[in-house]
Chains A and B, each alone.
Chain A
Amino acid sequence: MREIRYVDALNKAIREEMIRDGNIFLIGEDIGPLGGTFGVYKDLFREFGEKRVRQTPISESAIIGTAVGAAMTGLRPIAEIMYIDFITTAMDQVINQAAKLSFMSGGNVQMPLVIRTQQGPGTREAAQHSQNLEAWFVHTPGLKVVMPSSPYDAKGLLKSSIRDNSPVIFIEHRLLYFKKGSVPEGEWLVPLGEAEVKKEGNDITVVATSLMVHQALEAAEILSKEISVEVIDPRTLVPLDIEKVIASVKKTGRILILHEAPVRGGIGAEFVRQVTEKAFDYLDSPPRVLGGLNTPIPFSPPLENACVPQVEDIVGMVKEIVKEK
């Protein structure tokens, strides 16, 4: 099968959807001739013109607000926020408006809106360009939250998000853009709310999102002679396919949830809650979460690396859990 980069998979998803539906338009900063800071919109300005590829001033609140108003009145906006850190300047529009207007109108209003953004540390850009903020959005009723880890998922999930009638926060990872993966031609979707077992195993369930899926798979490979690790990628955090995770825990009896965001109040805790409620009797050891340190991300490379789980940390933690009785 053909292998393409994550960034190109996203580009293809958007292009195909824009051809299919003339009401889809793009809005964001530096998305014109440059094609977005990371090139997700490469050549789309040339193909679709400025009516449908709307490059804006640095005005995040107005970007999301424009998308909200347009979505309420029949268009299907895809708003880009260059770094998830910058969405903070538009939070009223995201949290009080996009997430709530459909509900508050008693269903009169639909909000077919996608906010595409990217997150994560790893590029030495310090604390205002490196956060993992997915938990904020998971915590806000009215939003869907998508976090693709592969080019295949990126394409299939973005198409589903665009076709969805609720606001979707679509969170990419900067370090995944240039990773390749197989992406078949033709028309297909990855539905929202369907986790995927990325690797089967029997001794422990590792739930990982986004970039951490790759770290988990690497750790599983290193451990393969001694411990059989099952790796599950929820792919979407809202809606959450907890059933697949529960089924896995019933098989393995152990679970580790892995994310880059700080563990305090992170989404790991939500998995622990649900697993504890639904599969307590199957657990052979306490559910564990491995995530980022509780600190803003520092600039200096060795410090930044120390803030997020590395493959060796995962290997160590899995060994520790499997030893526990």
Chain B
Amino acid sequence: MDINRERLIGMLKTMYKIRLFEERAKKLYKAGMMAGNFLGALHSYIGQEAIAVGACSCLKKDDYVVSTHRGHGHAIAKGGDIKRILAELQGKETGYSRGRGGSMHLFDLKIGLLGGNGIVGAGLPIAIGAAFSSQYKKTSQVTVCFFGDGAATQGTFHESLNIASLWKLPVVFICENNLYAVTTPASETIATPNVGERASAYGIPGKVIDGNDVLLVSATVEEAVKRTRTGKGPTLIECRTYRWDPHCFVITETRPKEEIEEWKAKDPIPRFERKLVEEKIINQEEIERMKSEVIKEMDAAEKFAQESPLPSVETFKEEVCAK
């Protein structure tokens, strides 16, 4: 492995962070629902961790990330503060958007996180704009744009790839093909066998890779980032993966049980972990220590979110009326 040890261990830890964050968020969401405090649509990233982590491990702090409705993983991988993410999910004043945005809308300009999105496919043109801005200001920042197989069927996909290629914008398009958009299989929505090969229609490189292999993701994105940072234009990378949970927790599961189990067996975390152990980069004891650190972090975030106040209605009304 030609990635340094520290980065590899960091990647494993971030994968655990995302996994355990999502489990914690799910638990709190369900408990809230039971208590009559329904908190919108929660989209879990469990199963797809290798993509956000692999991709963001190639980025600098000031590089941009354009996220989606399924964005907790992107936010965490880009270095988001777990306390503030969880507080936002709970609608608290201490959340990233002071409770205005919620789970689908995580922003942190300090780490280049340009927001999740409630509109499928809306992120692609915004990514073009961010990349345009870096090109304009000659900052050498790169924009990574995450989107799903479902978003790949919006017109915005085609418009954005065309412009990105035309203007050689510093952007990497990462399609997280988890095989479904809500309940609709990608095989019934995408006319060609895959999304990645559409790149040729825009004259840019395209890849289709195993999105559950974090090393493959990071190597592929690394190459695309290098290319685009040096002015050679965009790349489209399709990562094949699977979400473990239903689309969100108000939609009933419609996918075959066997299929879900089959993909759970391809869990990206133990797969990466085994490799690191084999290569003697980490040992079991260190892994256990890492996990308990992450759990402590989640406990602290939960406590922070629970103890944080809800936004003040009075202040909010004053703000609105002042406009």
Contacts and interface: CB of A to CB of B under 8 A. Distances in A.
A285 interface: no
A32 B184 contact: yes
A209 to B, nearest CB: 22
A58 B121 contact: yes
B188 interface: yes
A164 to B, nearest CB: 29
A57 B151 CA distance: 9
A129 interface: yes
B316 A298 contact: yes
A300 B153 contact: no
A95 interface: no
B265 interface: no
Contacts of B181: 29-30, 57-58
Nearest to B98: A300
A30 B184 contact: yes
A43 B297 CA distance: 46
A154 B174 CA distance: 42
B99 A33 contact: no
A86 B155 CA distance: 13
Contacts of B3: none
A301 interface: yes
**Interface secondary structure of A, over-half rule:** loop
A29 B38 contact: no
B100 A300 contact: yes
Contact of A298 (B100, B119, B120, B183): B100
B38 A89 contact: no
B251 A37 contact: yes
Interface in B149-187: 150-151, 153-156, 181-184
Contacts of B120: 58, 86
A100 B170 CA distance: 41
A296 to B, nearest CB: 8
B91 A306 contact: no
A303 interface: yes
B64 to A, nearest CB: 20
Contacts of B38: 123-124
Contacts of B112: none
Contacts of A282: none
B160 to A, nearest CB: 13
Nearest to A58: B150
Contacts of A88: 119
20 contacts: A30-B184, A32-B184, A33-B183, A58-B120, A58-B181, A59-B154, A89-B156, A124-B102, A129-B41, A295-B320, A299-B91, A299-B101, A300-B100, A301-B39, A301-B310, A302-B313, A303-B91, A303-B316, A306-B316, A306-B317
Interface of B: 37-41, 88, 91-92, 97, 99-105, 117-122, 150-151, 153-156, 181-184, 188-190, 251, 254, 310-311, 313, 316-317, 320, 323
Interface of A: 29-30, 32-34, 37, 55-62, 85-86, 88-89, 123-129, 293-296, 298-303, 306
Given A124-B91, A301-B310, 11 more contacts: A30-B181, A33-B254, A37-B251, A58-B181, A89-B121, A124-B40, A126-B105, A129-B40, A293-B320, A299-B105, A306-B313
